[in-house]
Amino acid sequence: MISDTAIPLRFQTAEVGVDWLQCNIECQEGCPVNTNCRGYLMLAAEGRFEEGYILARDPNPVAAICGYVCSAPCEKACRRADID
């Protein structure tokens, strides 16, 4: 086991809590119904479509309708383009 002192400070990380993640994932915060878009897209990419649908629908019982009428504020709030 490697001790924390053996790892240079710049490579050490701190665990963040769920509250921090919720406040700093801007695309999810940009969604009026707070849909976990990253989560359901990752599930769909893994071929787990039913689980992804359930995750997308959980905070939003009219998810299918939103697909037609949503103006996608999450896309405007997303900062992946700044990272990638």
DSSP structure class, residue 31: S
- Is 2 domain-assigned? no
pLDDT at 21: 64
DSSP structure class, residue 79: -
- Is 49 domain-assigned? yes
- Is 9 domain-assigned? no
Cβ 30 vs Cβ 77: under 8 Å: yes
pLDDT at 17: 74
pLDDT at 84: 58
- Is 34 domain-assigned? yes
Quote the domain boundaries for residue 77: 15-83
- The number of folded domains in the chain is 1
- Determine how many CB atoms are found less than 10 A away from the CB of residue 14: 5
pTM score, whole prediction: 0.55
pLDDT at 22: 61
For 19-67, the pLDDT digits (tens) are 776 666 667 777 888 888 888 888 999 999 999 989 988 888 887 788 7
- Is 7 domain-assigned? no
- Is 72 domain-assigned? yes
- Is 5 domain-assigned? no
- Is 3 domain-assigned? no
pLDDT at 46: 96
Query: pLDDT at residue 15 above 80?
Result: no
